[in-house]
Amino acid sequence: MSDRWDPDAFKARVDDVLRAFLEEEAGHFVAVDDALTPVAEQLRNAAGHGKRLRAAFCYWGWRAAGQPDSDALVRAAASMELVHAAATVHDDLIDDSRLRHGLPTAHVALEAVLTTARGTGRHPVPHHPAPEQARDGRRRVRAAARSLAMLVGDHLMALAGQLFITSGLPAAYLARARGLWAALARELVAGECLEILHTGGRPDTGTSLKVVRYKTAKYTVEHPLLIGGLLAGAPPALRDTYSAYGLPLGEAFQLRDDLLGLFGDPEHTGKAALDDLRAHRPTALLAETWQAADASQRELLGGVLGRGDLDATHLRDIRDLMLELKAPQRVERMILTRVERATRALDHTGTPPHARRALRDLAQRATDRIH
């Protein structure tokens, strides 16, 4: 690859790595027992979507430190996408999300397979089960599907580490990033735990931004950049620049995701627009709405949050309320401020011009998107 940044060509390289790696792993699973075929299928499909932003940030953390293009580095960078795949399986499970990229989430897909298998007699069930038995059977199938999905997510995280250490990079290079890998996993889990602990609580912008930082921002931008830089032997000053760029940009990325989650078209986002409201997640958009609302508006909002029976009318009412209170506009300003801060950080480094151009392009791609 030349110094000209070609996002589509890079994505194709990462896709090829992930496809071959997960296909091989799925084969190992089925070789243990044919009954594992549905699990193997979820592994095979786990990283089938995405713009490969995390891999790209890792790649440019390497290139900005003066290292040349490398197939081994691309394999190492692709491992960042498996971290994301693991996180999304777990996140969908925790939130009981039904769709991602317009397709059934892992636990939903597994439940459908298990239900079909049960109905065709592959699992012993009464021929004419009583209603109570049928309900109990459905509960067991659902619990089994959720357990399997949890294990798929766990294994994807392990596979991320395996792809990284077998990338072909020298062991001495890989050793430089070992400590940051541990921090990545710890902070990702901490962010997910914070979201769970604050779900259903009083909306607060500061709390929401802390969840954003640890649950998404760090492993999406900052950590991949730093890992690429550490692999390349980047000096401390350059790594400081990576953090100054990566943290605000990662926050902007998730703030955009929260806006799209509620105001985006599900046909484009691939997600259900009501998910955040049903789960009463601590998003900055919700917090900004709550802060600006008066008592009657908070009563309206509080009557919707956390309900499982929400419909298009509820969605329209909450969108109208948020627009009336200008909450989306304030979140847009948060995004713009963070993107500007991130790109300004690039002006104070000695990174090559082609790396600066690529990182500015990635900043736009991460935050100026329709899905």
Give CA–CA dist 348/2, Å, rounded.
24
Name the residue range of residue 216's domain. Answer: 7-367
State the average pLDDT over residues 268-278.
Answer: 77
pLDDT in tens, 324-367: 999 999 999 999 999 999 999 998 767 788 999 999 999 999 99
State the average pLDDT over residues 39-63.
Answer: 95
Per-residue confidence at 288, pLDDT binned at 50, 70, 90? very high
101: in domain? yes
158: in domain? yes
Which residues lie across from 279 on neighbouring strands? none
Per-residue tokens: 290 = 């709550």
Residue 138 contacts residue 111 (beta carbons within 8 Å): no
Alpha helices by DSSP H, 233-325 = 236-263, 266-269, 275-279, 284-292, 295-302, 312-324
What total of structural domains would you count in the chain?
1
Treating both helix axes as pointing N-terminal to C-terminal, what angle do 312-324 and 284-292 enclose, rounded to 10 degrees?
A: 60
214: in domain? yes
Instruction: Report the chain's mean pLDDT, rounded to a whole number.
Output: 91
Per-residue tokens: 278 = 């049903």
1: in domain? no
State the average pLDDT over residues 304-316.
Answer: 87
Say how many C-beta atoms besides its own lie within 10 A of residue 267's C-beta. 8
Residue 271 maps to which CATH number? 1.10.600.10
- pTM of the prediction? 0.91
2: in domain? no
Give CA–CA dist 112/110, Å, rounded.
5
Give CA–CA dist 333/252, Å, rounded.
10
